[in-house]
Chain A
Amino acid sequence: MNKVIEVEHLTKEYKKQKAVNNLSFTVQEGEILGLLGPNGSGKSTTINCILSLLKFQKGKIKIFGKEMTPSAYDIKKDIGVVFQEVAVFEELTVYENIDYFCGLYIKDRKKREQFILEAIDLVGLEHYQKFYPKQLSGGLLRRLNIACGIAHKPKLIFFDEPTVAVDPQSRNNILSGIETLRKNGATIIYTTHYMEEVEILCDRVMILDKGEMIASGTIAELKKLTNIEEKVTVEIANLKEKEQKKLKEFPNVMDVTYQNGLLIISYKKGQNNLLTLMDYLKENQINYQKIYSERPTLNDVFLELTGKELRD
């Protein structure tokens, strides 16, 4: 597999504060790399540096084996970008917007027409071609934003939080569109702070915090970074302090939290934990509504690595 992106020791400072600190990574052809991190972790800054929109103090960036510069037009023709903010013209219709941006890459009119229709089909905007952006809902606007970024069939696509504030239907549509792009051979960098999306889409994940890479690998590899093997959540209306203390003394228990009627117990190892807990609750006549067990998520990994929630 070829390396599509090579980033070496990238450092970007804003007034002596490091937004990206000595970041190095590569992206292989055809893979989806997820950039995961809370707001301000340096995800967008990293993308803007890779795209040569932002100046950076140190580091080297290569795309398709060539050094990326603001005037590297031969590289840019194979790149598509879907920014976090909707980047379309209010004065143009859905079709015209896609045509405008696609036309900056593809000169041939007939080829462009075909590409535009394919992009419209991919994001499900067939019935909105003559609509103006202000006539579209938030979710449809996001889909248009994506169509504008990918209509020219780029080999490398950057998605910067494309599903922020969209309805579930549009989100599913967007995610399945990205899956299709991957199947068609595109290499994708996907930034988000929704771990579910990362788990669905990404082959590899890089977790960023304060501009630094704190972990990187496949989802399975990342989950191994946490000591938690099982997490049990119980809905209990009222749980006394002494009961919580008792639960902490149970075998394999790493942590016990009780907040807003939710008891969460994290276990190091995962054998018969749920049954033991249920027996204890029954014996002590502690009433509960729901109880469920789950494997650790990326959020748990992130929490353990940084001490913060992903959506902080």
Chain B
Amino acid sequence: MNESTHFDAVRQARRITEQAVGWYIEQQEPLSERQRAAFLDWLRASPNHVAEYFAVVQMHGDMKAAAALKQITATELVEQARRDNPIVMFPHMEKAMPEQRPVHSKRSTRSRHLLAGAASIAALALVWLGMAHWRTAEVRPQQARMEHYAATDTAQSLALADGTLIHLDRNSDIDVRFDDRYRRIEVRRGHALFDVGKDPARPMLVNVGGHVLQDIGTIFEVRRDSGGDTLTVISGRVRVLDAQKASSKGDDLPLPGVAIADLSAGQQIELDASGASPVHPAQIAQTTAWLPANISFEHETIANVARSFNAYTSTPLEIEGEQLAQKRISGVFHADNPQAFVAYLSTLPNVRIIRDADRIRVVSANQTETKSGHL
């Protein structure tokens, strides 16, 4: 199924739900003549409206019983709601938490050192990447020194000091070398997904066999199999260049040469020694199948959580509004279901969801709400 068609359908369904709920709630007080006519018009506009209205009515019938299952007192509810940084307890959270702590303590001395070294962004990412089934490593490559990372039995997540996040599949290894001019990474074997941190002063160059990938603020996946290399761009754009011979200074990573192809979100290309295939559309779900099925996070900013979802989708989430972006939440979501996360965000106060063709904007509506606030 065409992804954008599916996307439109989801958006459409959500709008109908919101309208149905809005109308349902309006009925609690007698409708004005104009509202009655508008409601009837709405019902008559589509059988989908009628069906959704029935569904909302039915759910409303269950709501009382569902709410009655809750043990929490009203005072506790009010207290939870009042807290500035909401912690949303999700079912798996208790499971995720203890596994995360040892990672923290084991590296605490180093973390403190790094924090002192103004690498707080890496520390943030460390928390974020505390996924239940993933080992977390924190990395800060030193200048002009090659760091080698390998994932053997389990997939790994790396958080580099520049904010770049890398997921390494099993049996994969990469070399990382950052200096003042470039951020260089070589994929030696396996699968790696890159979510490149922003650093305009130092371009990120990723070497894959005889090719160099130049990233322009993006998420992409590299796969090195015996059959050849595959590059898939999840979001943003990537330029593929031929690799030149290594420079004379003993720099053993080759520099970029002639540009071969430009890829944008949802595109894929196969590369091997003889050259490159034509650029073609990718099956994103297939490409990211090796990534963890859940996204879990504890006391993480909404901006970072959104970013982790973006590894799975060509319609990235964008959080607009600094206050909203920095709000901290906790929980577990299915990675292949960013809609659930968006649905959660839409329940936050003054948050509006705007769905564009190529992205989902989560906008913090700062303007004071109007009294008339039509639904």
> Do A and B interact?
no
* Residues of B participating in the A interface, judged by any CB pair closer than 8 Å: none
* Residues of A participating in the B interface, judged by any CB pair closer than 8 Å: none
